[in-house]
Amino acid sequence: MAFRQIGVAASVTVALALATPAYAVTEIQWWHAMTGGNNDIVNKLADDFNASQSDYKVVPTFKGSYPDTMNAGIAAFRAGTAPHIIQVFEVGTATMMSATGAIKPVYQLMKDVNEPFDPKAYLPAITGYYSTSKGDMLSFPFNSSSMVMWINKDELKKAGVAEIPKTWPEVFDAAKKLKAAGHTTCGFSNAWASWAHIEQFSAWHNAPIGSKANGLDGFDTVLEFNSPLHVKHLQNLMDLQKDKTYDYAGRGAASENRFASGECAIFLTSSGYYATAKSTAKFDFTSAPMPYYPDVAGAPQNSIIGGASLWVMGGKKPEEYKGVAKFFTFLSDTNRQADLHQKSGYLPITKAAYEKTVKDGFYDKNPVLQTPLKELTNKEPTENSRGLRFGNMVQMRDLWAEELEGALAGKKTAQEALDAAVARGNAMLRTFEKTAK
Amino acid sequence: MEKSVVFNNKLLPYLLLVPQLIITLVFFYWPASQAVWQSFKREDAFGLTSEFVGFENYQSLFAQPEYYASMLTTLIFSSLVAALSLSIALLFATQADKNLKAAGAYKTMMIWPYAVAPAVAGVLWLFIFHPSLGTLARPLRWMNFDWNPLLNGNHAMILVVMAAVWKQISYNFLFFLAGLQSIPKSVLEAGAIDGAGPMRRFWTIVFPLLSPTTFFLLVVNIVYVFFDTFGIIDAVTGGGPAGATTTMVYKVYADGRLGGDLGGSAAQSVVLMVIVIALTAIQFKYVERKVQY
């Protein structure tokens, strides 16, 4: 009796399940790593897209930190249950693009489903990072940022620093003044140690991080950031670390609140820190371009981007790809991009959205948000400043930071630390090259 | 006359063992053999290409000076954590075993930290001792003590050891307490009548009678520090500064998950597996002799 009822219920369920796809919308799974206010933005984008049409439904799922999300995607691919769209941070680019077959390049996707797509509409400083050397866009930029120098204007004034420092020597001077004025534990500092002192530092000074245009032109790239310029910079930091005129603040973004708390009045971190700074800093603050060494010819060059892009996974159905393409077109809409930029602090990805924001006079009121764009477009990008693409970059960043820590703790000389970072990094690149053939 | 039950069916004992054997095979031997097999291969993160490379992963592993450094770190870390968590837990257990007024509440409080996930425990300690945020780090700095686990390897090590010990004390406490309560009171009273003081009674009666528990906990704690502590290390130091808290298991995680080097990571876990098997074998062969059941 009971069994029969269950049997009937089961067959009804099965029938319903089988019948559903006939009139259901196509679901597009989107895995992302956005927290807090940015998570709301992701959900709002999906809701708006779903409301704008009835054929497709984008379903965003939060998967943890950037490395967590990327690993979840890789594991899902191996298990045959990959999502359609996955948000991968910029350092995962080489790993993703080398996975031929696992991913569907964006330019290919747009062509396959006949979606109108003009790669020239996007800001080259941003899309260049996610494109092949021929200019084919591989992934769709979502949230982009760059590194800027955050300034506590109140404290600088108190310490008698009249102008916002532009060069590294000026920053060191200002930090000494700040220290004398009571900032005993931190004259200046930065988050993202490797990103600041190796990646951005190199691009900003038009010095190579590695050969083959920082790896953009091939996986047989060799690291080169143990040059005299890099050694000099690290040596300066080491000298200043001794009395905390400079104070190391870790590999990630965890110490960003040393700026908002007022402890460090000069602090280099992502331009994406804007939303947090706005809500937590109780003083007059602004952002300025990263400092440079004036004796380096051509400096400052241009900065490179950080943040994340959306990768489309391979092996999905054509109608699902159609939905993904529609969603990307939706994201590229000028008003939407401008709005996204002005609310989140992340960079606009299309030229039109940037121009609209300028025309609206937004930057007159919020010059802070224009700093990263000015840095990115400061000069025409060179081989050394177009971007970077190293395999195993996620772990390599930690490895570089490890060596920087060794030097700053006084265990190694600047030259030894950078030589070791280059040698160990090269060993990882060779392992990657073998698997990425 | 006692009636003895004899099962003549030769198959039955094996049938009864089957569920246990299946679980052991599926959850222990199968993954372990997978790790061994993986360690001879080189594969990209997505599993798109895969080639057999023999012992190459092991060769490159033992060519890294960082790997030997992580072995030393593991040795320091595991001896500190095992010794501290066992001795502190024993101290607390002997105190809780006394006739206390609020013994129930005290015991409950002692057990709580065990319910905290390793990563959360790590974050808690990070908040207490973070150089610029920490509630205890500020007074330290104020006293002109340059507390800086971000750059000072020893400070970072102290921090992860504290977090790992704090978390493991509850578990050890529970077993020690149960062990203490099973020691017959009459033996202790006899000792007291013979004039042995509390310290003497502890070392000559309690401690030897506790030895089965201590031995069990020693084995469990070694396994704990070798495998279960990477959540704490990941949350607190990320293996830094300059690799000062990169233990062997953390390196397995970092190379495999962050680095996508599955072959190298598998080779490390095989090495780790061999070490733990050897350690456990040594413990059973030599330490167990001193255990009085």
Give per-residue pLDDT as tens, A117-126.
888 888 888 8
| Tens digit of each residue's pLDDT (9 = 90 or more) over A292-330 | 999 998 889 999 988 899 999 988 889 999 999 999 999
Greater pLDDT, B141 or A347 = A347
CA distances from A132 to A128, A289, A376, A389, B9 (A): 8, 28, 19, 10, 70
Determine, yes or no, domain membership for A377.
no
Span B195-210, mean pLDDT?
Answer: 88
For residue A429, the chain B residue with the least C-alpha distance is B259
The number of distinct structural domains making up chain A is 2
Give me the residue from B48, B141, B238 closest to A101, CB to CB.
B48
Determine, yes or no, domain membership for B28.
no
Q: Could you report the predicted ipTM of this complex, rounded to two decimals?
A: 0.75
Same domain, A287 and A167: yes
Same domain, A185 and A266: yes
Determine, yes or no, domain membership for B36.
no
Same domain, A69 and A194: no
**Of A241-245, B3-7, B101-105, B148-152, the least confident:** B3-7
How high is the pLDDT of residue A22?
46
With cut-offs at 50, 70 and 90, classify the pLDDT of residue A437.
Answer: low
The reply to whether B47 touches chain A by the CB within 8 Å rule is yes
CATH of the domain at B191: 1.10.3720.10
Instruction: Concatenate the DSSP letters of all residues of A229-284 into one string.
Output: HHHHHHHHHHHHHTTTSB----SSSGGGHHHHTTS-SEEEEEGGGHHHHHHH--S-
With cut-offs at 50, 70 and 90, classify the pLDDT of residue A166.
Answer: very high
On chain B, the residues whose CB falls within 8 A of the CB of A258 are 132
Same domain, A57 and A129: yes
CATH of the domain at A65: 3.40.190.10
Determine, yes or no, domain membership for A338.
yes
Determine, yes or no, domain membership for A371.
no
Give the integer Cα–Cα distance in Å for B22 and A251.
Answer: 44
On chain A, the residues whose CB falls within 8 A of the CB of B150 are 248-250, 255, 405
CA distances from A275 to A230, A260, A343 (A): 32, 12, 8
Determine, yes or no, domain membership for A3.
no
Q: What value does the mean pLDDT of chain A take?
A: 88
Interface touch A95/B45, C-beta < 8 Å: yes
Determine, yes or no, domain membership for A295.
yes
Same domain, A324 and A421: no
The reply to whether B60 touches chain A by the CB within 8 Å rule is yes
The reply to whether B56 touches chain A by the CB within 8 Å rule is no
Same domain, A198 and A85: no
Give me the residue from B66, B238, B259 closest to A251, CB to CB.
B238
Angle, vertex CA A248, rays to CA A307 and CA B246, nearest 5: 80
| B172 C-beta neighbours (distance < 10 Å), count | 27
How high is the pLDDT of residue A23?
53
- Check whether A17 has a pLDDT greater than 70: no
For residue A238, the chain B residue with the least C-alpha distance is B151
- Check whether A187 has a pLDDT greater than 80: yes
Same domain, A26 and A114: yes
Determine, yes or no, domain membership for A54.
yes
With cut-offs at 50, 70 and 90, classify the pLDDT of residue B2.
Answer: low
* B239 three-class SS: coil
On chain A, the residues whose CB falls within 8 A of the CB of B42 are 431, 434-435
The reply to whether B141 touches chain A by the CB within 8 Å rule is yes
Span A118-143, mean pLDDT?
Answer: 87
Give me the residue from B49, B238, B264 closest to A398, CB to CB.
B238
Instruction: Look at residues A336, A365, A394 and tell me which one is the last residue of a structural domain.
Output: A365
- Check whether B144 has a pLDDT greater than 80: no
Determine, yes or no, domain membership for B37.
no
The number of distinct structural domains making up chain B is 1
Exposure b/e, A213-237, CB count within 10 A at least 16 = b: bbbbeebebebbbbeebbbebbebb
Same domain, A173 and A226: yes
- Check whether A133 has a pLDDT greater than 80: no
Give the integer Cα–Cα distance in Å for B207 and B87.
Answer: 12
User: Rg of the Cα trace of chain B?
Assistant: 24
Interface touch B46/A99, C-beta < 8 Å: yes
Determine, yes or no, domain membership for B130.
yes
Same domain, A163 and A141: no
Task: Give Cα A219 to chain centroid, integer Å.
Answer: 21
Span B239-254, mean pLDDT?
Answer: 86
Do residues B46 and A102 lie in contact, with contact meaning Cβ atoms separated by under 8 Å? Answer: yes
The reply to whether B255 touches chain A by the CB within 8 Å rule is yes
How high is the pLDDT of residue A21?
47
Q: Torsions phi, psi of B165, nearest 5?
A: -65, -50
Q: Torsions phi, psi of A83, nearest 5?
A: -75, 175
Interface touch A249/B49, C-beta < 8 Å: no
Span B107-128, mean pLDDT?
Answer: 81
Instruction: Specify the pTM.
Output: 0.82
Report the percent of chain A where pLDDT is more than 70. 95
Give the integer Cα–Cα distance in Å for A102 and A426.
Answer: 26
Residue A222 C-alpha, separation from nearest chain B C-alpha, in angstroms: 18
Span A129-136, mean pLDDT?
Answer: 84
- Check whether A15 has a pLDDT greater than 60: no
On chain B, the residues whose CB falls within 8 A of the CB of A241 are 151
Same domain, A276 and A324: no
* B288 three-class SS: helix
Q: Which pair of structure tokens corresponds to residue A428?
A: 């990882």
Give me the residue from B47, B243, B260 closest to A402, CB to CB.
B243
One-letter amino acid for residue B55 of the chain = F
Span B81-90, mean pLDDT?
Answer: 93
How high is the pLDDT of residue A392?
83
Residue B28 C-alpha, separation from nearest chain A C-alpha, in angstroms: 21
Give me the residue from A67, A263, A402 closest to B240, CB to CB.
A402
Span A48-71, mean pLDDT?
Answer: 91
How high is the pLDDT of residue A1?
40
Residue A313 C-alpha, separation from nearest chain B C-alpha, in angstroms: 12
How high is the pLDDT of residue B3?
62
| A362 C-beta neighbours (distance < 10 Å), count | 16
- Check whether A12 has a pLDDT greater than 60: no
With cut-offs at 50, 70 and 90, classify the pLDDT of residue A11.
Answer: low
For residue B151, the chain A residue with the least C-alpha distance is A409
Same domain, A277 and A406: yes
Determine, yes or no, domain membership for B234.
yes
Residue B240 C-alpha, separation from nearest chain A C-alpha, in angstroms: 6
Domain that holds residue A396: 147-305+382-436
Exposure b/e, A258-280, CB count within 10 A at least 16 = b: bbbebbbbbbbbbbbbbebbeee
Interface touch A261/B132, C-beta < 8 Å: yes
How high is the pLDDT of residue B293?
66
How high is the pLDDT of residue A203?
94
Q: Torsions phi, psi of B185, nearest 5?
A: -60, -30
Do residues B253 and B226 lie in contact, with contact meaning Cβ atoms separated by under 8 Å? Answer: no
- Check whether A6 has a pLDDT greater than 70: no
On chain B, the residues whose CB falls within 8 A of the CB of A398 are 238-240, 254, 258
How high is the pLDDT of residue B244?
87
User: Rg of the Cα trace of chain A?
Assistant: 24
Quickly tell me which residue has 């069994």 as its tokens: A3
Determine, yes or no, domain membership for B8.
no
Domain that holds residue B101: 57-290
On chain B, the residues whose CB falls within 8 A of the CB of A424 are 66
- Check whether A34 has a pLDDT greater than 50: yes
| Tens digit of each residue's pLDDT (9 = 90 or more) over A219-236 | 899 999 999 999 999 999
Same domain, A311 and A393: no
Do residues A150 and A277 lie in contact, with contact meaning Cβ atoms separated by under 8 Å? Answer: yes
With cut-offs at 50, 70 and 90, classify the pLDDT of residue A138.
Answer: very high
On chain B, the residues whose CB falls within 8 A of the CB of A394 are 258-260
Q: What is the largest CA-CA distance in chain A?
A: 90
**Of A52-56, A159-163, B71-75, B111-115, the least confident:** B111-115
